[in-house]
Structure 1
């Protein structure tokens, strides 16, 4: 199993966890960063976690700096972390799966998988090294 496949599988195991801002544990709740971090950790990434971000932020650079060592990607491979612009000044993270993507849905108050492509513009994506990009 590739690092991306392990990441996608971990994201899928989090489906049903409740939404909680700054949440990092599926047992107590996850936000979109928590879902992405959970997946990245399962894929072998040991970098730092983004901290102190508001619910609404357009600061993609904050995440890029926290996930140093990941490779820029197209967001099409299971396990890729995708960053989408969901509204003006707001970004949202998700993990690509074979069927679609897993994300923490604040409106549904839980982690869900949506089939197909995201309905929002993808503005950045990262891939675990060893998954076809980088060393």
Structure 2
């Protein structure tokens, strides 16, 4: 899907909390919205969210408000992964066939990572409009 290709082109952009522009920095939410925008999809982007401490319900509601639905079946390129890390931290990434792109806070940039490193993730797919 075009959103994954767009996200891949953003690899190397710096990490910035609540960042939504590849030129000035992205966080995981901003990356998803910037990639889908670059792919021609206009989405309602959540604002004022915390860097840490999101509730799963809040994240899922935000994805739903933007037009994403839980993906049934096999993961597909362009799906958005909702990753739950052990400490309760939630993270978003865009899936490719063999890798995923995400805004890595620790590395302070957007990176592409092999898909086998994603672990357990719930996948969301943009509903065809």
* Fold match by TM threshold 0.5: yes
Structure 2: distance between partners of 1:45 and 1:63: 19
Q: Residue 33 of structure 1: which of 29, 35, 48 is its match?
A: 29
Matched-pair contact (CA < 8 Å) for 1:79–1:97: yes
Structure 1: distance between partners of 2:105 and 2:11: 13
Partner of 2:60: 64
Partner of 2:120: 121
Instruction: Give, in angstroms, the shift of residue 120 of structure 1.
Output: 3.8
TM-score, normalisation: structure 1? 0.82
Counterparts of residues 94-133 of structure 1 (less than 5 Å): 94-122=93-121, 124-130=122-128
SS at match of 1:61: helix
Q: Cα–Cα, structure 1 residues 105 and 43, in superposed 2: closer, same or farther, change >3 Å?
A: same
Q: Unaligned stretches of 5+ in structure 1?
A: none
SS at match of 2:60: helix
Structure 2: distance between partners of 1:47 and 1:119: 25
Instruction: Give, in angstroms, the shift of residue 21 of structure 1.
Output: 0.3
| Equivalent residues, number | 126
Q: Cα–Cα, structure 1 residues 126 and 119, in superposed 2: closer, same or farther, change >3 Å?
A: closer
Matched-pair contact (CA < 8 Å) for 1:56–1:89: no
